[in-house]
Every structure is written in C-alpha cells, then in structure tokens.
Amino acid sequence: MLADARLIAGKDLRIERRARVATNQVAPFALLVLVLFAFALDPDRGILDRATAGLYWVAVLLSTVLAVQRSYALESTDGLPDALRLSGLDPAAVFLGKTAALALQLLVLEALLLAGVALLYTTELAGPALLAATCLAATLGLASAGSLYGVLAAGLRVRETLLPLLLLPVVAPVLIGATRAFEAALAGTPGEGWPWCGLLAIFAAIYVAFGMLAFGPLMEEL
C-alpha cells in the first residue's frame, strides 16, 4: 500500500514540478494575503507582530483551499477518474498519496510564509522546535481533511464554491490549535504550546483514519 501511495504522491509532485501551479499561483497568493493583512491592520501599531500566529494560520488555511482544489482539478480531466479507478490501486493508498503530496507542498508554503512574517511583520521566530512540530501536525491534519473534502466536492460543477464552505468549518480546530501553539512558541513559553500540538496530532490521526476508510466509496464519484 505504501508503494502505491508513493506512486500517487510522486505523480502529483512531478506534475507540480512541471506545471508549477502551486509555485507560481498558490505561494504568491499566500504572500499576498500577508500583505493584505498589513493593509487592513495598521503596521505601525504593532498589531501585526502581536497577531502573527493567527494571521499566519489564516493565510495557510486560505492557501490550503486553493491547493486542495488544484490537487483534485488534476484528477478530474481527460478520463482520469476512470483511469484511477481502473488502475487497481488501493483507494486508501490513493488517499495517502494525495495527502502526502498536498502536505509536502503545504510544508514548503508554510516555510515560505514563516520567512514572510519574519520579514514583513518583524516577528521574532522563537521556539523553533514547537514551531516545526506544530507545522507538521497541523499540515497533516489540513492535508488529510483537505483530501477528504476535496474528493467529496470533486466532480461537482459547484466545487469551487462548495469546497471552502465544507472544509473551513471542519478545520476550525486546526486553526485554534495551531494558533495557540504558535502564540506560545513566539511568546517564549513553549510549554503551554505542546498540549495544543497534541490536539493537532489527534485531529490529523482521526482524519487520516477516516479518509482511508471513506476514500473507497468516494473514488467512484471523482
């Protein structure tokens, strides 16, 4: 199953390497959101620095929606859904592969955004271990929930508008947990952040498990 998953993840990443949609569109969008926050919240009053954790994760969440849409737009053209169904790949492996590719792209994006907040919001990146662990756990949760809702909305004509409505409320716990953990890390009190990191891990575990079970029936709807 892991070999199948690696196959799917490799395929998605190879397409991204050649088409560069995430690189040329999603990543600039995420940075743009950071700039928009600066316009909305006066940068001279120190609000940006204080609100870094929340703004950062809102930017990640919005970018996740785009990345998920892209990930399933890949599968929806030219008879690809049929090809995927006939490929004999384990649906759970397809889910894991899509999730892994999505997670990897999101992690790169998050690193970019961290550099962005450090430069643009002059935030000092304290507590690197907690920051990294939070990014990992939150990304796994976002990618697995994103994959699951991505396939749920895939193949529908209204998927662009439906996906955010379905996905964003579901990942509210990730936003809460990741923001609190980041706040603790940036404030120099990582001890308070680790339990939130645990919550993120639980969220990710639940969605990975549910996705592996539910992807089989949903793959028929791609």
Interface residues with other proteins (CB under 8 A) are 148, 152-153, 156-158, 162, 165-166, 169-170, 172-173, 176-177, 180, 199, 202-203, 206, 210, 214, 217-218, 220-221
Q: Considering all CA atoms of the chain, what is the largest pairwise distance in Å, rounded to the nearest integer? A: 58
Measured from the CB atom, the residue of 55 and 199 that comes closer to other proteins is: 199
Give the count of beta carbons closer than 10 Å to the beta carbon of residue 62.
17
Assigned token pair, 82? 């049929």
Taking phi over 0 as left and psi of -120 to 50 as alpha, with beta for the rest, 179 belongs to alpha
Q: Supply the minimum distance, in Å, between the C-beta of residue 182 and other proteins.
A: 13
Shortest distance, CB of residue 99 to other proteins, whole angstroms? 16
CB of 117 to other proteins, least distance (A): 21
Question: The tokens of 100 are what?
Answer: 């892994």
The CB-of-146 to other proteins minimum distance in angstroms stands at: 13
CB of residue 17 to other proteins, shortest distance in Å: 32
Which CB sits closer to other proteins, 18 or 157? 157
Q: Measured from the CB atom, is 62 or 170 closer to other proteins?
A: 170
Identify which of residues 27 and 135 has a Cβ nearer to other proteins in the complex: 135
Smallest gap from Cβ 108 to other proteins, in A, equals 26
Nearer to other proteins, 42 or 220 (CB): 220
Q: Of 2 and 172, which CB lies nearer to other proteins in the complex structure? A: 172
